[in-house]
Amino acid sequence: MKQAKVSLLIAIAVLPLVLVSCSGTPFSCSGAAQPTGGWSGPVFHDGIVYVGSKDGRVIAINASSREEKWQWPDTTGIRGLIYTTPIVDDGLVYVGTYSGKVYALSVADGEDMWDSPRDGYVGAIVGTPVIADETIYVSSSDGRIYALNTTNGKRKWESALPRAGKLWTSPTVVDDTLFVSTLDGHIYALSLETGQLLGWSFEAEAGFTSSPVVYEDHIYVGSFDRYLYAIEMGSNVSMWKFPDEKPAGNWFWASPLVNEGIVYAACLDGKLYAIGAETGEKLWEFDAGNAIVSSPVLMDNLLIVATESGNVYVINPETGNGELIENPDNGNKSTIDAQIRAPICAHESLVYIRGENKYDQLYVVDIEKGEVSWSFNLTK
């Protein structure tokens, strides 16, 4: 009965993705499993913003001059749509594509240094990979985790997870262990060195929607049953689930943010919840009025939250009081005139946001000034 419930929940989960597929999910509007765009977010490194575009390019933008430094591919055509956020490490930009390859690009000029696998493809890569100890760890839609050498892309190991199906979440690395959450309701722990399954795993009755976040030996993760779970490593039962009575108004799709004993959980019901990490007690909630697809980010002592409708809020993490950043140039309809589904990036007083309307745009919001500072057209 449990397996039937899991399958039903996953089927229910996929249906809304098909319905909204014109706005950036891995499904076409006809319902066929074909990519139509991407939700790659921006990343800031050494004065350069790197972001994946809707049509499958990586673009490097100088944040000072606001000019393009390079784009990849330049003349050779699209290599695969991008749902992952670029990662910058030791002179290379890494990106996983929906076509099932990982590419390493030079930060200097975007030159393609290596791609993996060199022969063929793995399953579609949707969750952003992670890097640890000169290894990049990749979740794939073929149900496997791949460990690749960051220098040359050679495969160190691959690990097939039992009954995992498509892996759409990012893995999480803690010390010598890799954790991954799955659409069929499991959390697996793997050896970082060998990829072998370790002795502990967790099984829930519903699939997990978000990537696992680890804080002080506990895992925090959102589920298709509209609860957020806190799970102690090594335990077979959850420490708590939130809300404690009836489920939330929608899924906790975005990964939660945990800081100083508080879990900040964004929900597709349009609310940001502050929850005691140990107790599961609700400390406050902020109603943003529209679905929050992206995880909140911390900037000094402020929380920054972006809604799908294009609004950006600055919230006091202690009280939950928040203010909307208005945009007179947009008639104050929303902070930016675009939908926000990609992860957002904060650096110093600026927040970098990839928004989608009829164009594909990078927006830069100045939190101190409370205004949209500039934007860059990503459309080729």
Residue 69 lies in a domain: yes
Average pLDDT over residues 120-132: 94
pLDDT bracket for residue 25 (50, 70, 90): very low
Residue 364 lies in a domain: no
Q: Do 126 and 140 sit in the same domain of this protein?
A: yes
Give residue 77's pLDDT: 58
Give residue 90's pLDDT: 96
Residue 234 lies in a domain: no
Q: Do 76 and 4 sit in the same domain of this protein?
A: no
Least reliable range by pLDDT among 14-18, 79-83, 128-132, 280-284: 14-18
Tell me the residue length of the chain.
380
Residue 348 pLDDT greater than 80, yes or no:
yes
Average pLDDT over residues 341-346: 96
Average pLDDT over residues 211-225: 97
Give residue 33's pLDDT: 40
Q: Do 14 and 109 sit in the same domain of this protein?
A: no
Give residue 171's pLDDT: 96
Q: Do 25 and 41 sit in the same domain of this protein?
A: no
Q: Do 9 and 77 sit in the same domain of this protein?
A: no
Residue 380 lies in a domain: no
Q: Do 25 and 72 sit in the same domain of this protein?
A: no
Q: Do 42 and 133 sit in the same domain of this protein?
A: yes
Average pLDDT over residues 109-117: 96
Give residue 21's pLDDT: 35
Q: Do 195 and 55 sit in the same domain of this protein?
A: yes
Average pLDDT over residues 351-356: 96
Give per-residue burial for 230-266: e unless 16+ CB within 10 Å, then b: bbebeeeebbbbbbeeebbeebbbbbbbbeeebbbbb
Residue 182 pLDDT greater than 70, yes or no:
yes
Q: Do 10 and 93 sit in the same domain of this protein?
A: no
Residue 185 pLDDT greater than 80, yes or no:
yes
Residues 6+ apart with CB under 8 A from 90: 150
Give me the residue label for tokens 């995880």. Answer: 295
Distance CA 250, CA 269 (A): 5
Give residue 68's pLDDT: 97
Structural tokens at position 281: 């007690």
Determine contact, residues 286/336, Cβ cutoff 8 Å. no
Q: Do 50 and 182 sit in the same domain of this protein?
A: yes
List the alpha helices (DSSP H) in 236-346: none
Least reliable range by pLDDT among 91-100, 163-172, 305-314: 163-172
CB atoms within 10 A of CB 229: 26
Give residue 76's pLDDT: 59
Give residue 148's pLDDT: 98
Q: Do 146 and 108 sit in the same domain of this protein?
A: yes
Average pLDDT over residues 71-77: 78
Give residue 109's pLDDT: 97
Residue 27 pLDDT greater than 60, yes or no:
no
Q: Which of 158, 187, 203 is a domain's end point?
A: 203
Residue 236 lies in a domain: no
CATH for 191: 2.130.10.10
pLDDT bracket for residue 165 (50, 70, 90): confident
Domain that holds residue 49: 37-203
Reference 83, options 123, 42, 125, 118; nearest CA is 125
Least reliable range by pLDDT among 19-33, 200-214, 287-301: 19-33
Give residue 75's pLDDT: 64
Please state the domain count of the chain. 2
Residue 92 pLDDT greater than 60, yes or no:
yes
pLDDT bracket for residue 270 (50, 70, 90): very high
Give residue 200's pLDDT: 94
Q: Which of 203, 218, 250 is a domain's end point?
A: 203
Residue 61 lies in a domain: yes
Least reliable range by pLDDT among 20-34, 321-335, 353-367: 20-34
Q: Which of 175, 203, 231 is a domain's end point?
A: 203
Give residue 357's pLDDT: 87
Least reliable range by pLDDT among 84-88, 145-149, 309-313, 324-328: 324-328
Average pLDDT over residues 239-268: 96
pLDDT, averaged across the chain: 89
Residue 240 lies in a domain: no
Distance CA 288, CA 250 (A): 14
pLDDT bracket for residue 10 (50, 70, 90): very low
Q: Do 20 and 48 sit in the same domain of this protein?
A: no
Give residue 359's pLDDT: 87
Residue 63 pLDDT greater than 50, yes or no:
yes
Residue 211 lies in a domain: no
